Structure 1
Amino acid sequence: MKCAYVALALSLAGAAFATPAVEATTYPYSIGYISLKHLIESDIWDMTWSVTSRDKTDAATGSTTCHTAWNNGSIPVGPKTPEPCANAAYHYRFPTGAYDVESYELVIEGPGGSATTKIEAGYKYQCGPYSGTLTNIDKECKTINGGEFYLNQ
């Protein structure tokens, strides 16, 4: 009986060592401070957000601001045409558009390569009636609770 347990333990140990190591996911960027507002008069969505570059230990190494606007119901930035951010080393695109402002993909291309994330309404991003003091705005989506979205390579 002891031999059976020893054989089983050795075979399990061998299988564990034979399993390939799982590589850590790399998050070269994070997106935060999203402000997406619907302008009533022009029927335009106006979006500003920040992009932070991150090293392998998740430390911030630089940041920039990005901005875009699009007509309600149209694609903000084409799926294959990246647009520059304030720092021209960074570009962004919406690979599937952003018809639904509560759920869309965003790709960042920059010094750390190309990475993507899905922005979805939840505990760190919410949409609703505009609550600020500016006129001509009826809806807004924004990050809340210090929400950051980390992009996968």
Structure 2
Amino acid sequence: MKKTDYCNGFFLKAGKFILITEKKFMFFGIFFGLFLFFIPSIHGGMQQFLKGIPLLYSAFESATKLENTFVYPMLIVTIYNAVVLQVAIKRGFPGGWDTNIENGLPTAKEVNDRMLFPSSKNEAIVFSLWVILKIMAIFIWTWPFLLLGYFLRIGK
């Protein structure tokens, strides 16, 4: 059985999907954080524009006041990242990737170049957690702008 035969190539497709979309997720997170949290905090006109869109303005208000609706997801993503790393260290990342020697989890490019796809149930669990982590990373890129928006608003 080849590595790509496990689960009918689902993990191969997931790895390629992450490789293709990882930078897009990053740019979307930066764009989202910049235009929803940071710019409205410093530009009154943009804040007035957001007031016309109740859902976005509600997100802006909650985030830049660091209310629970934004603090808890930030904590969950941070804890999830630590859990995925610990599971990968304990169970081993697919393809023989050693998280201690290789300094953490692999990038999407390394997964696809070195064919680090699962060939057992334990490896499939770790790989699935890694894929979810990569998709959740979109929220990580909004945090700097969210925190800047918070500090700019309390400074007014």
Give the TM-score band, short-chain normalised.
under 0.3
Name the structure with the higher helix share: 2
User: Of the two structures, which has the highest relative contact order with CA contacts closer than 8 Å and spacing of 6 or more?
Assistant: 2
Alignment TM-score, normalising by the size of structure 1: 0.22
- Higher radius of gyration, 1 or 2: 1
Name the structure with the higher strand share: 1
